[in-house]
Structure 1
Amino acid sequence: MRVYDVEGFPNPARVRIALAEKGAVDDVQFVSVDVMNGEHRSAEYVSKNPDASVPLLELDDGTYLSQCTAITEYIDGTYSGASLCGQSPKERAIIHMMNRRAENGLLDAVGDYFHHATPGLGPTLETNQVADWGKLRKSKAIETMRYLDDTLKSRTYVAGDTFSMADITVFAGLAFADFAKIEIPAELTHLSAWRKKVAARPSINA
């Protein structure tokens, strides 16, 4: 398998963590995409991934999978070890629900702020910026942090008692928030404690 990505970017980090959690990092060839020079928008890359985004998983049979949730689902179902997507229908539903809330309310919200209300990746890549939208999404990211802090008062992890892809998404979202200079409010002690715990997992630094 090949993973097309940019090391250090938030969504590629989600897939790298998932691979590490399943002990599958050595089964993958990582292919760096030159996003800063627009390689992800080239005709060749878009023919593989119409989303023009990273990461992208290429399977041995030539199938291409984009979108982190889909890629994580494939990794989780292919490799043994603790499930990242849940076992029972209820577990899977809760994990997918929380993962989507983390995507839309935190990671994507931070991304919208970064790409619209800051210089982002520079004028060549950041076209059609809408600053007011970016600022609104920053507020959404902080609101979601508060929601997650409240959730973690009664849960060990974001979607329940076991680590899941929802935790990976939140962790990546908070890392992106750091980069975009959106701080976790000091009073959100449950979220900060959860983050410290997750940061100690071997997969985070694999």
Structure 2
Amino acid sequence: MKIYDVEGFPNPARVRIALAEKGAMDKVEFVPVDVMGGEHRTDAFKAKNPDAVVPCLELADGSHISQCTAITEYIDRHFEGASLTGETPKERAQISMMNLRAENGLLNAVGTYFHHATPGLGPDLETYQCAEWGSKQKEVAGETMTYLDEVLADNEYLAGNAFSIADITAFAGLAFADLAKVEIPASLSNLIAWREKVAARPSIAG
């Protein structure tokens, strides 16, 4: 099993955290991709992942799985350990719902702001930018932070009382927000406390 990624990037971090939660970091081979050099846009890489993004999972039979949620679903079912995606139909639905809210409203929103309304990864990679759209998505990210803070007022984690893929996605989204200089308002005490608690998990703190 191979994972093509860039260590330290937000989406690859989601998969690495999931692997660490399952105690499976030593069960995969990490293959670095030169994103800054445009390797992810080459025909050779797009043959593996037509989305032209990292991470991408390669299985022993030569097939490939992209999209972080799909990769994490596979990891969660393939390796033993506490489930990150839920066991019952209700748990799975609630976790999926919160993961999508964290992904679309925070991680992707911050990403859109970073790639469109800031220099991003530089002119060689940021070949199209719409600053107005990027700025709007910064607003969406702020609104989502407020929403997540409200959720955490009544829950230990984003989808209830168990750590899940939704928490991983939101944690990565806040890390991306740091990079993009999108600050968490100091008034969001529940979100700030949750982040500190998640950061202390062995899968993240090391």
Instruction: Report the 3-state secondary structure (helix = DSSP H, G, I; strand = E; otherwise coil) of the residue aligned with 1:37.
Output: coil
Shift of 1:63: 1.1
Instruction: Write the letter of the residue equivalent to 1:115.
Output: H
Is 1:71 equivalent to 2:79 in the alignment? no
Q: Which runs of 4+ in 1 moved over 4 A?
A: none
Q: Give the alignment of 1:185-196 within 5 angstroms.
A: 185-196=185-196
Shift of 1:176: 0.2
Shift of 1:142: 0.4
Instruction: Write the letter of the residue equivalent to 1:106.
Output: L
Q: Give the alignment of 1:46-125 within 5 angstroms.
A: 46-125=46-125
Shift of 1:128: 1.3
Shift of 1:127: 1.2
Structure 2 residue aligned with 1:6: 6
Structure 2 residue aligned with 1:23: 23
Instruction: Report the 3-state secondary structure (helix = DSSP H, G, I; strand = E; otherwise coil) of the residue aligned with 1:31.
Output: strand
Instruction: Report the 3-state secondary structure (helix = DSSP H, G, I; strand = E; otherwise coil) of the residue aligned with 2:12.
Output: helix
1:75-130 residue CA offsets vs partner (Å, 9 max, x unmatched): 00011110000000000000000000000000000000000000000000001100
1:15-43 residue CA offsets vs partner (Å, 9 max, x unmatched): 00000000000011000000001000000
Q: With structure 2 as the length reference, what TM-score do the two structures score? A: 0.99
2: distance between equivalents of 1:19 and 1:188? 29
2: distance between equivalents of 1:133 and 1:69? 25
Q: With structure 1 as the length reference, what TM-score do the two structures score? A: 0.99
Instruction: Report the 3-state secondary structure (helix = DSSP H, G, I; strand = E; otherwise coil) of the residue aligned with 2:36.
Output: helix
Runs of at least 5 residues in structure 2 that lack an aligned partner in the other structure:
none
Shift of 1:205: 3.4
1: distance between equivalents of 2:142 and 2:176? 13
